[in-house]
Amino acid sequence: MALTNFILTVAGVSAVILLARSDVKQTASIFKRNVRHIRRWLEEESAAAAAAKYALFSAFL
């Protein structure tokens, strides 16, 4: 009985660890993808702001 409980406990803990590892990997992948999108958006906004600034200054010249 004790051996069976030990084996079931080891199997359960192993399953939890395996699921947690895959979940952490998936979460890290999603986070990296989100960071790339945010960086791209910031670059686009910076470019748009620079273009608007240039257009504003060239209107006064």
| HEC string for the chain | CHHHHHHHHHHHHHHHHHHHHHHHHHHHHHHHHHHHHHHHHHHHHHHHHHHHHHHHHHHHC
Q: Which of 13-17, 33-37, 40-44, 46-50 has the lowest mean pLDDT?
A: 46-50
pLDDT at residue 33 above 90? Answer: yes
What average pLDDT does the structure give for the chain?
90
Per-residue pLDDT at 59: 63
Per-residue pLDDT at 39: 96
Per-residue pLDDT at 56: 66
